[in-house]
Amino acid sequence: MNFEFSDDQKQLRDQARRFLAEKCPPKAVRAVLEGSAGYDKALWSGLAEMGFLGVAIPEEFGGTGAGHLELCVIAEEMGRALAPVPFSSTVYLAAEALMLAGSDAQKQKWLPKIASGDAIGTLALFEGPGNPSPQAIKVAAANGVLNGVKKPVADGAIADFAIVAARNGSGGRETDIALYLVDLKAGGVEAKTLTNLDPSRNQAELTFKDCKAEPLGATNEGWSILSRVLDRAAVLMAFEQVGGADRALEMGRDYALDRIAFGRQIGSFQAIKHILADMYVAATLARSNCYYGAWALSTNAGELPEAAATARISATQAFQHCSKQNIQVHGGMGFTWEFDCHLYYRRSNALALSLGSLSYWEDQLIERMRKKNAA
Amino acid sequence: MNFDDTPQEAAFRAEARAWIAANAPKQYEDELAKASLGRLVLTGASVLDVAKAWQKKKADAGWACLHWPKEYGGRGSSPIERVIWQQEEGAFGKLSRMFIIGHGMCGPTMMAYASEEHKRNYLPPLASGEKVWCQLFSEPAGGSDVAGLRTRAERDGDDWVINGQKIWTSGAHYSDYGILITRTDPTVPKHKGLTMFFLDMKSPGVEIKPIKQANGQSEFNEVYFTNVRIPDSQRLGAVGDGWNVSLTTLMNERMSIGASVATGFPELFDYCNDLVIDGAPAIDDRAVRAKLANWAVKASGLKYTAFRSISALSRGERPGPENSIGKLVAGSMIQEVATYALDLQGAAGVVSDPAQAEVAGKFQAMLLRSPATRVEGGTDEILRNIIAERVLGLPGDIRVDKDVPFNKIPTKGRG
């Protein structure tokens, strides 16, 4: 059994960590959080130069073709550093959807631009409160144009193109849903930034008015493609979340070692130790589940739907738990704007809601396990 | 990243699988597979007899205590081969429960500290299950604080004379030998005055009383020592070095990687697949699903955490600290799972008679046994301390008794 990343992959992780430590310190995250740019443009270009944006994109489409295990280790580092860039929208969602269902022309047009940092992509799925379901999709496609409103769309106001889930028939069945590729700079769509929990990442409302769109994949297979894209993105997002969870744990541990109260390091109190031990437990369970997801993703295993839901739930819980308890360990200082704890708290809660929230993935996991059990 | 065996591992697995298929007590496989925490019943046979017979058969064919040297009754296998064996042994591995302490803790301690002659005499029958060993550590005054123990050993010629009491000794009532930690010097701080021995449990002056547990069963005992004589040749380690010897024992307790920890989840998942609530399968209920999903990812997390440790063993490396979370997670989980399974049964959940209760009272037995899981072999709180101190590097507790002579440490909380 070799249930571990290879030495080359670990080297890539170290390389990404060093790069992000230099180019993406907390002050870079704060600059986006407190500014209006929506993302860190210099960091985005730097990630492209390092080859990190195209790590899972085949060479023929401008990527390095390294693979999905490599993408997993980079995702973890992006999460650790809270990278304020549209990495998940572009790489986990848009690029994966293109690779899964795009025509050769669509791939030729967009994948090289993703890899080079010249195009930001996203997935426009949600239309107000609720989790992914065919019934919830009201944006309508007819005669090659889209009409309707999507919100929230992660990185929607900074994206160059979007994969849009739209209703192609009337019944709200899975087969009525199609995916469309929309050039957001070509007119017919209005983007409005939404104030959100984690302003270090953009969230937007996209309004489509007779907006030109071309189908991505067969028009009766949109939901099935979307499900597969969400599974793949769930594993990658889980790595990002585990990276964040680990960093929040380290911050709590470091503070407990440095802070003196009652004449001793607060980390010598069992009340604090036990909080940190439970954070370690959550992060460790999540990491192990992520490895299972990475294996399933990189081998296209039949277990992917179950493994993805497992990794997603576990990592969501771990990041939320660690970011929350990190503030608790810090006490009052953890609730100041100045300390970085809230950056992790914000990101963990924003990521928990993206791609469908916990309750959605819990339901999906048991449905998938039940089906496997019945088979 | 893959789950594949190396060619050598695959060959070993095939050999183990073939031997188990030809030799295991198949007639009990079903009942063993269904056994869960607090309930292991074999129709028409005593678990002890079946377990001893299986262990002896394994030993005769060279499949006992795989990682021990051959001259002491083992196979000289690598750690990864031991894990593969456990995977292949499957439900029959539950028969090894009564040997876990002997094989996992007493044996390694003997190997590290006993004389060569003693090792050759005592270890092979321990490996083969012909002799069962127990570990005499906990005392009424020293549970989590093991070093607070009070059982005295006093030198008398070539012997030591033992007086005192141990408690929570698993299997003392069917054990032939035990390893015993005692206090030989109460005038020095508590960790410094301890000495380890092994002894014949049939020695005059040893009295064993079963503890009737909160769940009505008796797995543990109190063991009383009244002027019990142990020859100095049965001392393990130097006089006063018992604490370090005991750390060897306890370290081995935590090395049982690959032995899957019971979480109760597979049982609950099966139950929810079969159970009908208000005319619909329980598993289709969203509230049930949310609960199941939370436990599913914990069970899965433990499984793949073990796989990470196994991968390290497979590469010939020491596993990282991640495996230390196993019992902490599984212990409280199995208690919550049992509680929820009964919640799903409504008022009928109160019935525990296996002939009447749902799934033969499996969850009722689990509920009543589960509090012990969170205490035995290190309480949840001690395990959290260990993670915090050894994994995360936090400072040790401030110990007010650290430099105080043992006989000056207060013994009463109030009054």
Is B230 a domain residue? yes
Q: Residue B339 is part of a domain; what is its CATH number?
A: 1.20.140.10
The active-site residue out of B9, B253, B322, B376 is B253
User: Which residues of chain B are within 8 Å of residue A259 when distances are taken between CB atoms?
Assistant: none
Same-domain status, B117 and B152: no
User: Which residues of chain B are within 8 Å of residue A3 when distances are taken between CB atoms?
Assistant: 1-3, 304, 307-308, 310-311
Q: Which of A275-284, B227-236, B362-371, B395-404 is the least confident region?
A: B395-404
Is B42 a domain residue? yes
Please state, in angstroms and rounded to a whole number, the distance separating the CA atoms of residues B57 and B65: 12
* Cβ–Cβ gap A284/B301 under 8 Å: yes
Same-domain status, B42 and B107: yes
CA A215 vs CA A212, A224, B347: distances in Å: 10, 14, 56
Question: pLDDT at residue B258 above 70?
Answer: no
> Domain limits at B64?
7-127
Same-domain status, B142 and B187: yes
Is B57 a domain residue? yes
Mean pLDDT, each 10-residue run in order, chain A (375 residues): 91 98 98 97 98 98 97 98 98 98 98 98 97 95 96 98 92 91 97 98 98 96 97 98 98 98 96 98 98 96 96 98 98 97 98 96 97 88
* Cβ–Cβ gap A365/B296 under 8 Å: yes
Q: What is the CA radius of gyration of chain B?
A: 23
Q: Which of A4, A309, A365 sits opposite B1 (nearest CB)?
A: A4
Question: Active site includes B253?
Answer: yes
Is B251 a domain residue? no
Same-domain status, B115 and B85: yes
pLDDT category of residue B260 using cuts at 50, 70 and 90: low
Please state, in angstroms and rounded to a whole number, the distance separating the CA atoms of residues B122 and B398: 41
Q: Determine which of A2, A73, A250 to mutate to test the interface with B (most B C-beta atoms within 10 Å).
A: A2
User: Which residues of chain A are within 8 Å of residue B384 when distances are taken between CB atoms?
Assistant: 270, 273-274, 277-278
User: Which residues of chain A are within 8 Å of residue B282 when distances are taken between CB atoms?
Assistant: none
Percent of chain B with pLDDT over 90: 76
Q: State yes or no: cis peptide before A152, omega within 30 of 0.
A: yes
Looking at the complex, does the CB of residue A11 fall below 8 Å from at least one CB of chain B?
no
Contact A121, A92 (CB under 8 A): no
Same-domain status, B51 and B117: yes
* Cβ–Cβ gap A362/B289 under 8 Å: yes
What single-letter amino acid sits at A90?
T
Decide the pairing of beta strands A214-215 and A177-183: antiparallel
Q: Strand, coil or helix: what is A235?
A: helix
Give the chain A residue whose CA is nearest to the CA of B324.
A281
Q: Which of A1, A317, A362 sits opposite B310 (nearest CB)?
A: A1
The pLDDT, as a whole number, for residue B168 is: 94
pTM across the whole model: 0.94
Q: Determine which of A366, A368, A369 to mutate to test the interface with B (most B C-beta atoms within 10 Å).
A: A366
Question: pLDDT at residue B226 above 90?
Answer: yes
* Cβ–Cβ gap A253/B393 under 8 Å: yes
Among B170, B181, B58, smallest CA distance to B124 is for: B58
Residues 45-84 of A with CB under 8 A from B: 69
Tell me the shortest Cα–Cα distance from A277 to chain B, in angstroms.
5
Q: Which of A79-93, A198-212, B84-98, B313-327 is the least confident region?
A: B313-327
Sort B139 into a burial class: Cβ within 10 Å, 0-12 / 13-18 / 19+: buried
Same-domain status, B269 and B231: no
User: Which residues of chain A are within 8 Å of residue B302 when distances are taken between CB atoms?
Assistant: 285, 288
pLDDT category of residue B113 using cuts at 50, 70 and 90: very high
Q: Residue B226 is part of a domain; what is its CATH number?
A: 2.40.110.10
The pLDDT tens digits for B184-215 are: 999 999 999 999 999 999 999 999 999 999 99
Q: Which of A4, A268, A299 sits opposite B311 (nearest CB)?
A: A4
The pLDDT, as a whole number, for residue B412 is: 85
User: Which residues of chain A are within 8 Å of residue B308 when distances are taken between CB atoms?
Assistant: 3-4, 288, 291
The pLDDT, as a whole number, for residue B259 is: 55
Same-domain status, B216 and B296: no
Same-domain status, B11 and B121: yes
Same-domain status, B118 and B141: no
Same-domain status, B12 and B78: yes
Residue with tokens 């009409």: A147
The pLDDT, as a whole number, for residue B399 is: 87
Please state, in angstroms and rounded to a whole number, the distance separating the CA atoms of residues A52 and A21: 15
- Last residue of some domain: B361, B378, B395? B378
Residues 314-333 of A with CB under 8 A from B: 314, 317
Same-domain status, B310 and B216: no
Looking at the complex, does the CB of residue A264 fall below 8 Å from at least one CB of chain B?
yes
Contact B144, B382 (CB under 8 A): yes
Please state, in angstroms and rounded to a whole number, the distance separating the CA atoms of residues A192 and A206: 7
Q: Residue B101 is part of a domain; what is its CATH number?
A: 1.10.540.10
Backbone angle region of B33, left / alpha / beta, with phi > 0 → left and psi within -120 to 50 → alpha: alpha
Same-domain status, B313 and B232: no
- If one counts the domains in chain B, the total is 3
Domains and CATH numbers, chain A: 122-221 (2.40.110.10), 223-374 (1.20.140.10)
